[in-house]
Structure 1
Amino acid sequence: MNTKRAQGLTLVELLVGMGILALLLVAVSSFFTSTSDGAVQVNTRAELQQDVLNVEQLLASRIKEAWYIYTPNRGQINLGTGQLRQNPLSGTGVWNLDTVTGTVDGGHMLAMILPPENAALNCTADTKGCFRFYAYYPVKRSVWVAGTASDGANNPGAGPNDANTWVLVELRANYLTGLSAVLPPQPLPGESRPLASTKPGAANFNYVPAISLPAAAPPNTGSANLLADNIAPMTASEPMFTFIQEPVANNVHSAVSTQEIVLRIAAVQQAKGRVIRLPAANSFYELRSFPGNLGRR
């Protein structure tokens, strides 16, 4: 009597089939992982770009609104102590404005005074009647994270490259006692300029009324808040803020000589193991803003 041998897979055939299936699973998994990582990186790029553009537009609007902008000839501004006011290059609260001498920490602060929101109000009775000090400056991300509450809105959370990344900070403070300084706006193009003066201390400019500069020291009050995260460090040769001033030969007081301010910001962040820098390596987004109260040149 003939008997049929049972049909089935041998052990070798089974192992080969399992190996092929494993390879297919790895390929499919790698495809989806790569697609997912690519999507995360694309989203990161879009978010970084939008954040930088939003910040530059905000700074440009502040510049146009400013009653007074601290110019490079004012020297140093001391924001005081504390991690949230710490210069990422010097490790102190002392900042140099952009200067032609190329100081190592020059050009990374923009400080200004904004007029009262409502000049008819008494400053001591309503903050909307006060002159307002604004300062924009970077802080090392690791220092900022360590100096803010872990559960606070100002803390973006620790990242993999905090020691080499900055955040951009906005410091606000009100001059509760008001300002006694008189700062007439710079003449617009085509208008007559003040004549040179021989009076001592007049800086060779004869403004009526005379210009009295606000103090370089900001008010002791105020709070520092996170404005932008993941800012790429800048250098003295490529500062975050550059002040373009009118030549002294045009007989314009240095206090109101700013023609325009150049803003330069770049963003950097790690996403899925890859460092993303925008707009590209060794480059930055640039925007020029013209102080509205001084007149565009």
Structure 2
Amino acid sequence: MTIALPSARHKAGFTLTELLVALGLTGLIMGAVLTLNLRTNDAATTLQTRTDLTGEVQVAQNYIASKLRNAVYVFPYYSAASGLSSTFTLATSGYSTFNPAARAGRSGTGNYTWRYAFGTVAADPFLAFVLPPEGGNAAGPGSCAASSAAMRKTNCYAFYAYYAVPRSLLVAGNGSSVPTNVNKLQSDGVNDTSTWALMEYRAYYTSAGYGGGSPGSIPTGGTGLLVLDYVRPTTETTVGSTVDKLFVASTTPVTAVTLNLAATRQIGDETVNVPGTDRYSLRVYPRNLSNATPNN
């Protein structure tokens, strides 16, 4: 009896069609996994950015509020009724106090003068006030001028200003001066031109003093320091009941100031806004108004 042996060509295996189908299904599964992983990473990055911005805005707002609560004088907006100057010149050179011309309602080249206006007039995002000596000792102008930098904090009145500049200024400077050290920011694409950086300027009254009323000359010689990055820009105008300003002071004399801070950052195709389309608003009432002791 003859037994037929199976031919080699009839051994079990995958056909070319089956292999192609298997490869296609594997590709689809891997693509779905990769897409899900990327979306998860993007969502995590967005959430982390939102969390970081929320914390930074709240810290900056509380920091400014803590200074403002101790103010002995808050500079009012310019108005025909007050007759007070609406401009502040913080310096004559450098980048940290430079006011670019690219601002709503401004024209010409940038300069070091900041406009602080009332009502519907387009102004700069600017707030200025005076703090008392930290040691409670209002020294005379001569004593302040002769004091060391550390002693001026104890003996002399301090001028504080908060203002916003385009983020690009802290990345590349203003052409004649470039940022260094603590203010230097890394370039972040479209965010450099679409967001602001909030700065703090401080200087001490060492010669003119502070007389308990509206200060005369603004002390110079200070530099701007970064307080908050990725600030969402404002129009700095008031139209009807709509106010879009970083700082809103009450009428003259100033007894309260509202801080309106928000942040925004572009991450890939996602724009992260904190808090949403609104702003964190905090109304601050300075506690030491009219408690200044003349030192001039």
How would you bin the TM-score normalised by the shorter chain? Answer: 0.7 to 0.9
Offset, 1:240: 0.9
1:64-104: CA deviations, max 9, x gaps? 1112211113311112343322335143322122412x222
- The 1-side partners of 2:275 and 2:185 are apart by 22
Q: Secondary structure at the match of 2:168?
A: helix
- The 2-side partners of 1:232 and 1:168 are apart by 10
**Does the CA contact (< 8 Å) of 2:132 and 2:157 recur in 1?**
yes
Partner of 1:167: 197
Partner of 1:78: 89
Moved over 4 A (4+): 148-151
- The 2-side partners of 1:135 and 1:239 are apart by 15
**Does the CA contact (< 8 Å) of 2:73 and 2:289 recur in 1?**
no
Letter in 1 for 2:113: V
Partner of 1:142: 168
1:162-206: CA deviations, max 9, x gaps? 112100001121223361x431xxxxxxxxxxxxxxxxxxxxxxx
Q: How many residues align?
A: 252
Matched, 1:158 2:187: yes
When normalised by structure 1's length, the TM-score is 0.78
Partner of 2:284: 289
- The 1-side partners of 2:75 and 2:43 are apart by 44
1:57 pairs, out of 53, 59, 62, with 62
Alignment of 1:86-105 (within 5 A): 86-88=98-100, 89=103, 90=106, 91-100=110-119, 102-105=120-123
Q: Secondary structure at the match of 2:182?
A: coil
- The 1-side partners of 2:207 and 2:132 are apart by 14
Q: Secondary structure at the match of 1:113?
A: strand
Partner of 1:265: 261
Matched, 1:131 2:157: yes
- The 1-side partners of 2:47 and 2:178 are apart by 30
Partner of 2:245: 239
Fraction of identical pairs, as percent: 31
**Does the CA contact (< 8 Å) of 2:248 and 2:257 recur in 1?**
yes
RMSD: 2.1
Deviates most, 120-129 or 151-160? 120-129
Offset, 1:154: 1.4
1:7 and 1:34, CA in 2 relative to 1: closer, same or farther beyond 3 A?
same
Q: Secondary structure at the match of 2:20?
A: helix
When normalised by structure 2's length, the TM-score is 0.79
Partner of 2:6: 3
**Does the CA contact (< 8 Å) of 2:170 and 2:185 recur in 1?**
no
